[in-house]
Amino acid sequence: MSFVTRQPIDGAALLAQVADPGLGGTALFVGSVRRGKEDGPVEAIEYSAYETMLEEEFGRIVTEIRSRWREARVVGVHRLGRIPAGEISIAVAAAAPHRAEAFAACRHAIEEAKKRLPVWKKEIFQDGSEAWRDNESRLA
Amino acid sequence: MSFVTRQPIDGAALLAQVADPGLGGTALFVGSVRRGKEDGPVEAIEYSAYETMLEEEFGRIVTEIRSRWREARVVGVHRLGRIPAGEISIAVAAAAPHRAEAFAACRHAIEEAKKRLPVWKKEIFQDGSEAWRDNESRLA
Amino acid sequence: MHFRDALSSSTTVTVTVRAFARYAEILGLEETTLELDEPATVSDAVKLLRSSIPNGSRLPERPLVAINREHVLAETPLQDGDELALLPPLAGG
Amino acid sequence: MHFRDALSSSTTVTVTVRAFARYAEILGLEETTLELDEPATVSDAVKLLRSSIPNGSRLPERPLVAINREHVLAETPLQDGDELALLPPLAGG
């Protein structure tokens, strides 16, 4: 399955993808476009990416997780294009035999995704103005 | 909403309950009945509870989380009765402005739930035998 | 004098005892009533149950307990009308 | 002798340069081709871009870069046919 989508993300679909009767704990993280306050109300964010690298880089993250938490199953999806405030931009799910590994693998996936994925966002404010925004420029 | 249900749990419903355009990160944990290996294949688990206390105790956990992570929204649901292997027994979701608080609040909710909720489970094996099972007696 | 009266053995507290899961199985009951001389603690109630109810001695000396649906310690004093719950090792989630 | 030939300035590497997001806006292009004398590193390519392309000087001296869709450091040597990507500060998630 592709890591990239241009459609609304369904968190429950990710839960279903990692579900396994041998895996008792599943952690799911979903990141949404925040309405925001710092620069004014955000109407939407336009996400763009280096798509071929994005797929490969997330694949490498998954491979790393599987080598560290051998029984874990991990999936993720990143939406690109214009995403209205309140809608999901990224989701990652990890299932493992027990909850500690599920949380650790899920957390690892999202932290590495934030650090490494070649994705950029332009905030579109309610007054129509736009601004590039990166994960360093404000608390993300 | 009641914390207790006797119906299958829908993880996506919890995500919807905590969704808020000001809260950019949401962590969901779902615990499922594991098929298991230690004592033989588990067919199902029969969950029973001190139901009035169960509702109150989860309410106290939510109150504690709100006092520690002031902007967080937390919900949870615990299924009781006979739950077949592979189906969800508990789910907790926490939404917060940023992901660190969402993970911390969600983790806190499930850890406290495991420690404090007056719930008991009887494993029902494929050969028809049964055994009480608590969170101390094996890795949970 | 009044203080002493209140503590005299002629005054009692009556509590509802509830047992769950394997404790209900051991005792063969889910609910009973217990009358204790004042002052009485959770620990006193457990002692009385262990000595007076069939199979009571199979309960642990210090089981997990709740009063009025809140976890409490064995030293907690009982008040008239309390709901005292005997909780087997927890297994939620 | 052969070794020396290989390192002479007459041998070059040709790489495809891709720019994204605000770097694409700054440079007014998303893709270009660059020819460099061998041996050449990512850093050499960035220097050449900054001096030879209109608005190139607005690129940082050490931007985040990828070769063939993997993050690499500025000291990484370039090989003929590489896809060199200039990545603005990341903002995934």
Residue B69 has pLDDT above 50, yes or no: yes
Of D69, D85, D92, nearest to A119 by CB-CB distance is D92
Any domain includes D4: no
Of A20, A28, A86, nearest to B21 by CB-CB distance is A86
With H, G, I as helix, E, B as strand and everything else as coil, classify residue C33: strand
Query: What is the Cα B23 distance to its own chain's centre?
Result: 22
Tell me the two tokens of residue B55.
């509702």
Tell me the two tokens of residue B46.
């029969």
**Reported pTM:** 0.91
Phi, psi for A98 (deg, rounded to 5)? -130, 165
Q: Looking at beta carbons, which residues of chain A come within 8 Å of B10?
A: 12
Residue type for D19, please?
A: A
**A66 Cβ contact partners less than 8 Å away, ≥ 6 residues apart:** A72, A74
For residue A11, the domain's CATH number is 3.90.1170.40
Contact B134 C89 (CB under 8 A): yes
Q: Are strands D83-87 and A88-96 parallel, antiparallel or unpaired?
A: unpaired
Tens-digit pLDDT profile for chain C (93 aa)? 233 334 555 699 999 999 999 999 999 999 999 999 999 999 999 999 999 999 999 999 999 999 999 999 999 999 999 999 999 999 988
Any domain includes B27: yes
Question: Radius of gyration over alpha carbons of chain A, in Å?
Answer: 16
Supply the DSSP symbol for D57: G
For residue B135, what pLDDT is reported? 72
Contact B118 C20 (CB under 8 A): yes
B36 vs C: CB within 8 A: no
For residue B38, what pLDDT is reported? 62
The C-alpha of A51 sits at a distance from chain B's nearest C-alpha, in angstroms, of 23
Distance (Å, whole) CA B45 – CA B122 = 6
Residue B41 has pLDDT above 50, yes or no: yes
Q: Looking at beta carbons, which residues of chain A come within 8 Å of D93?
A: 31, 78, 89-90, 110, 113-114, 117, 119, 135, 140
Number of independent structural domains in chain A: 1
With H, G, I as helix, E, B as strand and everything else as coil, classify residue B56: helix
Edge-to-edge strand ranges of the sheet holding C83-87: C31-37, C12-19, C83-87, C64-67, C70-72
**B94 Cβ contact partners less than 8 Å away, ≥ 6 residues apart:** B18, B26, B27, B65, B69, B72, B73, B74, B101, B102, B103, B105, B106, B109
Tell me the two tokens of residue B85.
């292997």
Any domain includes B140: no
The C-alpha of B90 sits at a distance from chain A's nearest C-alpha, in angstroms, of 10
Residue B39 has pLDDT above 80, yes or no: no
Secondary structure, 3-state, A45-110: EEEEECHHHHHHHHHHHHHHHHHHCCCCEEEEEEECEEEECCCEEEEEEEEECCHHHHHHHHHHHH
Closest C-alpha to D19, from D32, D9, D7: D32
The C-alpha of D70 sits at a distance from chain A's nearest C-alpha, in angstroms, of 7
Any domain includes C50: yes
Q: Could you tell me where the beta strands, DSSP code E, fall in chain B?
A: 4-5, 25-32, 42-49, 73-79, 81-84, 88-96, 119-125, 130-133
The residues of chain D scoring below 50 in pLDDT are 1-6
Any domain includes A53: yes
Which residues of B, range 9-28, sit inside 8 Å of C by Cβ?
A: none
Contact A110 D93 (CB under 8 A): yes
Number of independent structural domains in chain C: 1
Residue type for D66, please?
A: A
Domain that holds residue C68: 12-87
For residue D93, what pLDDT is reported? 85
| ipTM at complex level | 0.89
Closest C-alpha to C75, from C49, C45, C54: C45
Contact A117 D71 (CB under 8 A): no
The residues of chain A scoring below 70 in pLDDT are 1, 37-39, 136-140
For residue D21, the domain's CATH number is 3.10.20.30
The answer to whether residues B106 and B48 touch, using CB atoms and an 8 Å cutoff, is no
Of A52, A56, A134, nearest to D91 by CB-CB distance is A134
Largest CA distance in chain B: 51
Average pLDDT, chain C: 90
Of B31, B50, B89, nearest to C87 by CB-CB distance is B50
Percent of chain B residues topping a pLDDT of 90: 84
Nearest CA in chain D to A87: D93
Residue type for B50, please?
A: Y
Any domain includes A140: no
Query: What is the Cα B61 distance to its own chain's centre?
Result: 12
- Say whether the C–B interface has 3 or more Cβ pairs within 8 Å: yes
With H, G, I as helix, E, B as strand and everything else as coil, classify residue B115: helix
Which residues of A, range 21-50, sit inside 8 Å of B by Cβ?
A: 21-35
For residue A140, what pLDDT is reported? 35
Of D20, D22, D91, nearest to A50 by CB-CB distance is D20
Q: From residue D91, give the alpha-carbon distance in Å to each of A58, A91, B100, B138, C29.
A: 14, 15, 17, 42, 61
For residue B136, what pLDDT is reported? 64
Contact A114 D22 (CB under 8 A): no
Q: Looking at beta carbons, which residues of chain B come within 8 Å of C69?
A: 50, 52-53, 56-57
Question: B: neighbours with 3+ CB pairs under 8 Å?
Answer: A, C
The arithmetic mean of pLDDT across residues B82-103, rounded, is: 97
For residue A108, what pLDDT is reported? 98
Any domain includes C7: no
The C-alpha of B44 sits at a distance from chain C's nearest C-alpha, in angstroms, of 14
Domain that holds residue B49: 4-131
Start-end of H helices in C1-93: 2-7, 21-27, 42-52
Phi, psi for B60 (deg, rounded to 5)? -65, -40
